[in-house]
Amino acid sequence: MNLPNKKVINGWAMYDWANSVYNLVITTTFFPLYYMGVTSDKYKDGEVPFLGMTFKNSVLYDYALSLAYLIIALSLPILSSIADTRGNKKSFLKFFCYLGGLACSAMFFFDGDSIPLGIIGLMVAAMGYSGGLVFYNSYLPEIAPVELRDRVSARGYSLGYIGSVLLQLVGFALVLSADAMGISAAMALKITFLLVGVWWIGFAQITFARLPPSPPAVEKHYAGVFTEGFIELKKVFAQVRNMPVLKRYLRSFFFYSMGVQTVMMVAVIFGTKELKLGDSELIGTIVAIQLVAILGAWGMARLSEKFGNFQVLIATVALWIGVCIGAYNTYTVTQFYILAVLVGLVMGGIQSLSRSTYAKLIPETRDTASFFSYYDVTEKLAIVIGLFSFGWIDQEFGMRNSVLVLILFFSIGLIWLFSALHKQRRLAYATTHD
C-alpha cells in the first residue's frame, strides 16, 4: 500500500493497537468471566443487589454498560463541536484515553466485597473508550485520501486485533501459571486488568506524538466554547439533513450496530450461561475470533474496492442474520466454535468498512469531529438499545430468546442499506444524465 504521510497514518493506527485491549480483555473476555465468577460466588443465586434493587448478574452488566453509553452519547455532540471550533481534538482524545486506561487499572481492586467499584469501573472505562473513538475516528478523513480510507481503516482494526490478542495471550498465560507463581487465578485476572490500562495509555503515546494538530473550524472566536459548540453542531446537523445517502446509511448503521455490538459484548456471557463452557474454552474461542477478524477486516477492504462499500456491507449484514439464527439454535461446543469463526469473519469486516464508508460519505470539511460525533453517537445509542433490549428479554424470557431481537435489528439495517444503495445509484444516474 503506497500511503501518503505514512508515519502519521501508522501513528493513527497505533491507537487501535492501544485501545482495542479494552474491547477484548474488559468487555469481551476476562472481565465478563471475572465479573460472573465474583458475583456468582458472592450471591449464589446470581441475583445481585444494587442501588436498592436486585438484578440478575448478567442483566446488571448489560444495564451498566447501557447507561455508560447513554451518558457518553448525550455528551459527545457538544464536546466534538467544541473540539472542532477550538482545534483541540487531540486534547479530548488524550482525556478519554487516560480516563479509560485508569479505570481499567482500577479494576484491580474489584472483588466480591466491592461490587459498586466493579460496576462504576466498568462504566467509566466504557466512557473512556467510546468517548475517545469519536476524536480518533475523525482523523481518518484528514490523514487519508478517499480512495485509501477503506485500507487505512482496515489497517487500524487489524493492528487493534493483533495487539489485543497479544495482551490476551499474556493474560491467559498469567491465569495458567497462577499456581506456579503462588497467586490465585482471580489475582492473575486482576493483574491483567492493570496491564490493560498500562498498555492503553503507554502505546497511545505514539499516536499522540505523531498526530498533527487540527486547525480550528472557526478562525475568529465570537462567543464562548459552549455557544460556539452548539452553533457548530447545528450547522453540521443541517448539512446531514440535506445528504440523503448519508442519512439512509446512518439509519442502517444504527440498526445493524445494535446487533453487532450486542453480540460482541454478550458472547462470553452467552457461552457461560447457555452452554456452560469453561473459562479456557471461552478465552481460546475469543482469541480465535480476533485472529479471524484480522482476515475479515483485510478481506472486506479489498472486496469493497472491487464491488463497492454498500454491496459488501449488504452481504455482511445478511451473514450476521445467519449468525444470529445459528446462535439461537446452538447447543453444543462444536456448534459454538463454528459460529465463533463466522462471527470473526464478519465482525472485523463490518466494523472497519462501516467507519471508512462513513468517512467517504461526509463532505470535505474541517468539522470532522462534529461529523464523526453523529457516527459515534449513532453507534452508542444503538449499543444502549441493543444491550437494554437483550438484558430485558433475558430477565423476562431467558437469554436464548434475546437472540431473536438481534435478528430484527439486522433485518431493519439491511433494508436501510438497500435504500442507501438505491439512492446513491439514482443520484449518480441523475448526475451523469444532466
Half-sphere exposure at residue 275, Cβ-oriented, CA atoms within 13 angstroms: 21
Name 49's bridge partners: 54
Rounded to an integer, what is the distance from CA 113 to the centroid of its chain?
Answer: 30
pLDDT of res. 219: 55
Of 230 and 198, the one with more pLDDT: 198
Rounded Cα distance, 402 and 396, in Å: 10
Query: Assign residue 133 a region: left if phi > 0, alpha if psi is -120 to 50, beta otherwise?
Result: alpha
Residue where the block lists cell 457518553 = 72
- pLDDT for 177 beyond 90: no
Of 308 and 264, the one with more pLDDT: 308
Mean of the pLDDT values across residues 404-410? 87
- CA angle in degrees (0–180, nearest 5) for 289-382-420: 90
- CATH fold of the domain at 8-432: Growth Hormone; Chain: A; (1.20.1250)
pLDDT of res. 173: 86
- pLDDT for 200 beyond 90: yes
Of 36 and 228, the one with more pLDDT: 36
| Lowest-confidence pick of 31-35, 300-304, 306-310, 365-369 | 365-369
pLDDT of res. 213: 77
- pLDDT for 422 beyond 70: yes
| Lowest-confidence pick of 13-22, 165-174, 200-209 | 165-174
| Lowest-confidence pick of 163-167, 258-262, 346-350, 382-386 | 346-350
Rounded Cα distance, 178 and 390, in Å: 35
Of 367 and 89, the one with more pLDDT: 89
Q: Which range has the top average pLDDT, 20-29, 195-204, 385-394, 405-414?
A: 195-204
Of 182 and 265, the one with more pLDDT: 182
pLDDT interval class at 206 (50, 70, 90): very high
Rounded Cα distance, 191 and 351, in Å: 29
pLDDT digits (tens, 9 = 90+) for 213-238: 776 655 554 555 556 556 666 777 77
Closest CA to 199 of 52, 18, 329: 18
| Lowest-confidence pick of 25-29, 78-82, 308-312 | 78-82
Rounded Cα distance, 356 and 154, in Å: 8
Residue where the block lists cell 473508550 = 129
What the block records as the C-alpha cell of 46 is: 446470581
Give percent of the chain above pLDDT 70. 85
pLDDT digits (tens, 9 = 90+) for 268-299: 667 766 667 666 677 677 777 777 777 777 77
Rounded Cα distance, 140 and 154, in Å: 11
- pLDDT for 356 beyond 60: yes
pLDDT digits (tens, 9 = 90+) for 146-156: 777 777 887 88
Q: What residue spans define the domains of the chain?
A: 8-432
Q: Which range has the top average pLDDT, 43-57, 268-282, 307-321, 352-366?
A: 307-321
Mean pLDDT of the chain: 80
pLDDT interval class at 101 (50, 70, 90): very high
* DSSP symbol at 329: T
**Residue 201: how many other CB atoms lie within 10 Å:** 19
Q: Which residue type sits at 160?
A: G
SS3 category, 52: coil
pLDDT of res. 110: 86
pLDDT of res. 2: 53
pLDDT interval class at 414 (50, 70, 90): very high
Contact status, residue 198 vs residue 105, Cβ threshold 8 Å? yes
